[in-house]
Amino acid sequence: MYLNRLKKQNMLQVFNLITTKGNKLDGVYEFSGIRASHDFDGYTCWLSYKDLTISLLFHGAYDFDYQDKETLELFFKKVSRLLGESNA
């Protein structure tokens, strides 16, 4: 499955996958090295992987913050594989 990097819907699918299949510890879900969390009311969600943090905001905005471009590429490969497996 090809993951369109710019669609927030894909990031929400990843968030749902991590929170559904992941283990929860101190309010943070973790699955396959990816962490998912949200604020108290759920209006802001975060996905984290190594030095990458993606902020998903309620009104459709999102922000990528990372130090190493390779981390971003690894993240997208990993989530493409995970989403492909979950849709199989």
Burial class (CB in 10 A: 0-12, 13-18, 19+), 35: middle
* Lowest mean per-residue pLDDT among 35-39, 45-49, 76-80: 76-80
Q: What is the pLDDT of residue 43?
A: 87
> What is the total count of domains within the chain?
1
* Lowest mean per-residue pLDDT among 6-15, 22-31, 35-44, 77-86: 6-15
To the nearest 10°, report the CA torsion of 13, 17, 18, 23. Answer: 160
Q: What is the pLDDT of residue 42?
A: 79
CATH number of the domain encompassing residue 21 = 3.30.310
The structure's pTM equals: 0.85
* Domain span at 47: 8-81
Residue 87 inside a domain? The answer is no
Residue 21 inside a domain? The answer is yes
Stretch (H or E) spanning 32: none
